[in-house]
């Protein structure tokens, strides 16, 4: 496969050269994948599974407390628990998303639905967020709370029985950054509560966890890559630290344009760089 | 996969080829599509993207003779300003995310590298397929130049406190402020850096944008973009080329100054050394971009005579209204003989924009607009209009003065500027060692002066 690709590229260059479409010389960058033995992947994948299991257990526990508050009609308590409850979900989002039916039920946003907030298919966290912040009330939220808890428990059950494919785990580091780049930089994820920075933190923690677990398997000469990725994770940490408040974060609306730009640059670069992690480890 | 052709070579497409050559190419393992694409470069014929020859199937790609056309990248001026406008254009505006002078230098060096490759065409590096590919692949495994130009300009905000460029800010570069008829949308305005992309097809401009975005994730953040196109015309032998029409049905650009007149361009378009502007700007030009919505339903319900008096030209021929029978868009109106505005109303668009007095000679601008069509408004009307782009050596004497003269024109009832910005188009990249913005960065001592 690789051989035919190379010969094709060479032939094309040759032929084009004669047709004045002169291609630059040496067009082939044979960036070879590292030879990581499947055995080497066992330990980090197992450790990641433990990470996910712990996060899921935390998520079930927190969701129970959150939905209890909603059902008890305690608006203030429910508001206080909304963002922290989501953090463990955001950490493991690449795995949670393997179950797309549950992800949609738990975490879809109003604009995923044709009738937006009024759509009967709009359930889960953001439906409850809408009620708490826009209506300042738990009225009518009871059934959504029940469904959310049931969906989260089902997720827990499914994850427990899941075999973790290494390429999905490794690919997840970039997927978490794609999450941030696609919907969180704009502040549209938690549009009623503006608690996006909590989600950011969850996504970054989850991505960094994967990177840290697999970093030792990277080729020894890939120090520049490691340095660059860690540099961008650190940039993000510095920005997020500026907005820490108590155990959590200030409103996303407080984020300055300059800091938003730093986050955007770091997120997009992490997404771009981490998208090569699978290749670097030779995972198809 | 791309290794082997999976369809028989189609004879009608290969006619211009000698059998010998075909055999060579076959021996090189080229597939039929790549072959057809390259063929186009060998036997240029006048024409446009058109349907494939007989034997093509429904989803067979339209073909073009012009994919090998290319514009020179190196030069005193950037390409894409006086370059004849191809069918498709786009302006993309970015925030610069660079935090340090070194990062700013890397931004302009990388932009230079990408532009050189994209305008020249060629084969992108091939990576192990377990990696994401280096190229989006939307133009196929070989990137065609397709007449692409990439024109890089900087906004006034790049000269804020971040990099110490303040003292080197172009004298007339400012943040665009609203004119009376504007309804500016903050999401479609301004930017630290603009890139104008023009090519024969929209796919080529999109490919270039995606390449730039992918290669500069840590240094550029896309704020807005607007694509546009101009309608193509059949070539008529022995007739001068006509100006393209805008979405109001009128020709746009008839009175454009002649971009082939170097002396004129040096006077009205290119910033000259030794003038009032910082030295680094020599060879550059000011760029004004405006996204101007046209209320086309309303326009289409307006009597033709009124439309023509609003513009000051006959719609079909483009001739000025004082032109006699058989006049064309290239006839020059003589406002001096029409002091009362009998033929051409005083408030018509062309008379206000260019009164053709000795004084208004200093207000000439070079227009390079495209038409855009974006979708439907909440009111069920077409969201379309003009991606207005113009260039001039002095932004105040040029676009700003012309637009001020137009403020209150009757055409305003049918148009609404909603976005855009002012930028300064950097001087050209002179040679292999040069790169975008080098004179500016050297003036600010961020890079060594050119040797």
- Cα three-residue angle B103-B107-B109, rounded to 5 degrees: 115
Residue A27 forms contact with B (CB below 8 Å): yes
For the cut 80, the answer to whether the pLDDT of residue A1 exceeds it is no
Count of domains observed in chain B: 1
pLDDT band at B303 (very low <50, low <70, confident <90, very high): very high
**Within a domain: B376:** yes
**Within a domain: B332:** yes
What is the least distance, in Å, from the CA of B172 to any CA of chain A? 25
Residue B38 forms contact with A (CB below 8 Å): yes
User: Lowest-confidence range among A33-37, B9-13, B308-312, B378-382?
Assistant: B9-13
Distances in whole angstroms, Cα of residue A44 to Cα of each of A177, A225, A274:
20, 20, 17
Give the distance, in angstroms, between the CA of residue A36 and the centroid of all CA atoms in the same chain.
Answer: 25
Cβ contact B131–A13 (<8 Å): no
Nearest CA in chain B to A257: B95
- Per-residue pLDDT, averaged over A204-215, amounts to 96
pLDDT band at B235 (very low <50, low <70, confident <90, very high): confident
**Within a domain: B108:** yes
Q: Which residues pair with B251 in a beta bridge?
A: B245
Rounded CA gap, B376 and B374, in Å? 7
Give the distance, in angstroms, between the CA of residue B15 and the centroid of all CA atoms in the same chain.
Answer: 35
pLDDT digits (tens, 9 = 90+) for B171-185: 999 999 999 999 999
Residue A7 forms contact with B (CB below 8 Å): yes
Cβ contact B218–A275 (<8 Å): no
Residue A29 forms contact with B (CB below 8 Å): yes
Q: Identify which of A23, A262, A279 has the shortest CB distance to residue B130.
A: A279
Q: Which residues pair with A265 in a beta bridge?
A: none
**Within a domain: B18:** no
pLDDT value at position A221? 84
Cβ contact B218–A5 (<8 Å): no
What is the least distance, in Å, from the CA of B38 to any CA of chain A? 7
For the cut 70, the answer to whether the pLDDT of residue A30 exceeds it is no
Largest CA distance in chain B: 74
Contact assessment for residue B420 and residue B401, using Cβ atoms and an 8 Å cutoff: no
Q: Which residues contact B323 (CB under 8 A, 6 or more apart)?
A: B314, B317, B331, B333
User: Lowest-confidence range among A97-111, A121-135, B83-97, B108-122?
Assistant: A97-111
**Within a domain: B91:** yes
For the cut 80, the answer to whether the pLDDT of residue A277 exceeds it is yes
**Within a domain: B125:** yes
pLDDT value at position B9? 37
Nearest CA in chain B to A276: B131
- Per-residue pLDDT, averaged over A123-137, amounts to 97
Q: What is the pTM of this model?
A: 0.86
pLDDT band at B53 (very low <50, low <70, confident <90, very high): low
Distances in whole angstroms, Cα of residue A232 to Cα of each of A28, A177, B108, B289:
29, 12, 21, 34
pLDDT value at position A31? 53
Rounded CA gap, A8 and A141, in Å? 60
In chain A, residues with a C-beta closer than 8 Å to the C-beta of B221 are 261, 264-265, 268
DSSP E strands, B362-432 = 366-367, 370-376, 382-392, 415-425
pLDDT band at A12 (very low <50, low <70, confident <90, very high): very low
Rounded CA gap, B161 and B168, in Å? 12
pLDDT value at position A95? 86
What is the domain extent for residue B186? Answer: 66-233+244-443
For the cut 80, the answer to whether the pLDDT of residue B32 exceeds it is no
Q: Which residues contact A253 (CB under 8 A, 6 or more apart)?
A: A187, A194
- Per-residue pLDDT, averaged over B90-94, amounts to 98
For the cut 80, the answer to whether the pLDDT of residue B429 exceeds it is yes
pLDDT value at position A215? 95
User: Lowest-confidence range among B45-54, B238-247, B375-384, B400-409?
Assistant: B45-54
User: Which DSSP state fits B285?
Assistant: E
More confident residue, A28 or B378: B378
Residue B121 forms contact with A (CB below 8 Å): yes
For the cut 80, the answer to whether the pLDDT of residue B257 exceeds it is yes
pLDDT value at position A97? 77
pLDDT value at position A73? 97
For the cut 60, the answer to whether the pLDDT of residue A138 exceeds it is yes
What is the least distance, in Å, from the CA of B127 to any CA of chain A? 5
**Within a domain: B41:** no
Tokens 């999401």, residue? B187
Q: The tokens of B110 are what? A: 């990388």
**Within a domain: B427:** yes
Rounded CA gap, B414 and B181, in Å? 11
pLDDT digits (tens, 9 = 90+) for B392-424: 999 999 999 999 999 999 999 999 999 999 999
Q: The tokens of B4 are what? A: 């082997």
User: Lowest-confidence range among B29-43, B76-90, B311-325?
Assistant: B29-43
In chain B, residues with a C-beta closer than 8 Å to the C-beta of A14 are 28
More confident residue, A128 or A24: A128
For the cut 50, the answer to whether the pLDDT of residue B167 exceeds it is yes
- Per-residue pLDDT, averaged over B148-172, amounts to 97
pLDDT value at position B414? 97
What is the least distance, in Å, from the CA of A254 to any CA of chain B? 19
More confident residue, A220 or B167: B167
Give the distance, in angstroms, between the CA of residue A256 and the centroid of all CA atoms in the same chain.
Answer: 23
For the cut 70, the answer to whether the pLDDT of residue A103 exceeds it is yes
Q: Identify which of B1, B28, B134 has the shortest CB distance to residue A14.
A: B28
- Within 10 angstroms of residue B331's Cβ, the number of other Cβ atoms is 17
**What mean pLDDT value characterizes chain B?**
89
């Amino acid at each position: 496969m690789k051989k035919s690709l190379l010969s094709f590229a060479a032939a094309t260059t040759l032929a084009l050269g004669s047709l004045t479409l002169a291609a630059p010389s040496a067009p082939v960058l044979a960036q070879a994948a590292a030879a990581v033995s499947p055995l080497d992947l066992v330990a980090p994948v197992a450790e990641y599974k433990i990470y996910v299991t712990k996060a899921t257990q935390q998520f079930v526990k927190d969701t129970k407390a959150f939905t209890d508050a909603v059902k008890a009609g305690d608006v203030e308590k429910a508001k206080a628990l909304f963002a922290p409850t989501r953090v463990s979900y955001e950490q493991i989002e690449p795995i949670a998303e393997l179950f797309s039916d549950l992800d949609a039920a738990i975490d879809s946003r109003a604009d995923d639905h044709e009738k937006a907030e009024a759509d009967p298919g709009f359930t889960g966290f953001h439906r409850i967020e809408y009620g708490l912040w826009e209506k300042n009330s738990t009225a009518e939220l009871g059934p959504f709370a029940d469904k959310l808890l049931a969906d989260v428990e089902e997720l827990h059950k499914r994850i427990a029985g899941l075999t973790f494919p290494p390429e999905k785990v490794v690919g997840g580091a970039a997927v978490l950054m794609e999450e941030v780049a696609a919907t969180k930089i704009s502040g549209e994820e938690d549009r009623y509560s503006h608690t996006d920075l909590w989600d950011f933190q969850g996504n970054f923690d989850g991505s960094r966890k994967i990177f840290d677990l697999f970093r030792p398997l990277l080729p020894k000469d890939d120090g520049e890559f490691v340095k660059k990725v860690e540099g961008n994770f650190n940039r993000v940490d510095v920005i997020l630290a500026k907005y820490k408040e108590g155990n959590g974060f200030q409103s996303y609306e407080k984020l300055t344009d300059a800091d938003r730009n730093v986050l955007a640059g770091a997120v997009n670069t992490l997404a771009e760089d981490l998208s090569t992690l699978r290749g670097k480890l030779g995972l198809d | 996969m791309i290794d082997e052709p999976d369809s028989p070579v189609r004879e009608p497409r290969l006619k211009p080829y000698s059998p010998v050559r075909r055999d060579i190419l076959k021996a090189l393992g080229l597939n039929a599509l790549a072959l057809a694409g390259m063929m186009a470069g060998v036997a240029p014929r006048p024409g446009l993207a058109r349907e494939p020859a007989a034997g093509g199937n429904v989803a067979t790609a339209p073909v073009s003779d012009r994919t090998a056309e290319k514009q020179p990248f190196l030069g005193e001026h950037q390409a894409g300003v006086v370059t004849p406008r191809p069918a498709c254009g786009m302006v993309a505006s970015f925030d610069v995310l660079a935090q340090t002078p070194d990062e700013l230098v890397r931004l302009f060096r990388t932009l230079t590298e990408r532009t050189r490759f994209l305008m020249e065409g060629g084969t992108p590096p091939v990576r192990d397929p377990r990696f994401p590919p280096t190229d989006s692949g939307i133009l196929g495994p070989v990137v065609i130049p397709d007449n692409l130009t990439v024109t890089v300009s900087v906004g006034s905000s790049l000269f804020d406190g971040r990099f110490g460029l303040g003292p080197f800010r172009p004298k007339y570069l400012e943040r665009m402020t609203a004119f009376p008829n504007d309804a500016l949308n903050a999401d479609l305005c301004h930017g630290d850096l603009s890139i104008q992309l023009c090519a024969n097809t929209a796919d080529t401009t999109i490919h270039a944008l995606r390449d730039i975005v992918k290669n500069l994730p840590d240094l550029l953040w896309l704020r807005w973009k607007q694509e546009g196109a101009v309608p193509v015309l059949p070539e008529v032998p022995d007739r001068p080329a006509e100006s393209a029409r805008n979405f109001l049905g009128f020709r746009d650009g008839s009175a454009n100054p002649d971009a082939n007149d170097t002396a004129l361009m040096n006077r009205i378009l290119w910033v000259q050394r030794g003038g009032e502007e910082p030295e680094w700007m020599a060879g550059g030009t000011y760029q004004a971009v405006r996204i101007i919505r046209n209320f086309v339903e309303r326009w289409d319900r307006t009597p033709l005579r009124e439309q023509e008096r609003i513009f000051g030209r006959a719609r079909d021929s483009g001739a000025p209204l004082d032109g006699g029978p058989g006049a064309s868009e290239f006839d020059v109106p003589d406002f001096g003989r029409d002091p009362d505005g009998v033929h051409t109303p005083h408030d018509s668009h062309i008379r206000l924009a260019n009164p053709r007095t000795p004084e208004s000679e200093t207000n000439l601008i070079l227009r390079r607009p495209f038409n855009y069509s974006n979708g439907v408004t909440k009111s069920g009307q077409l969201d379309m209009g003009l991606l207005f782009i113009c260039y001039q050596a002095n932004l105040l004497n040029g676009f700003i003065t012309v637009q001020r003269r137009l403020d209150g024109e009757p055409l305003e009832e049918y148009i609404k500027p909603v976005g855009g910005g002012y930028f300064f188009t950097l001087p050209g990249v002179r040679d292999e060692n040069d790169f975008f913005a080098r004179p500016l960065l050297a003036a600010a001592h961020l890079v060594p002066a050119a040797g």
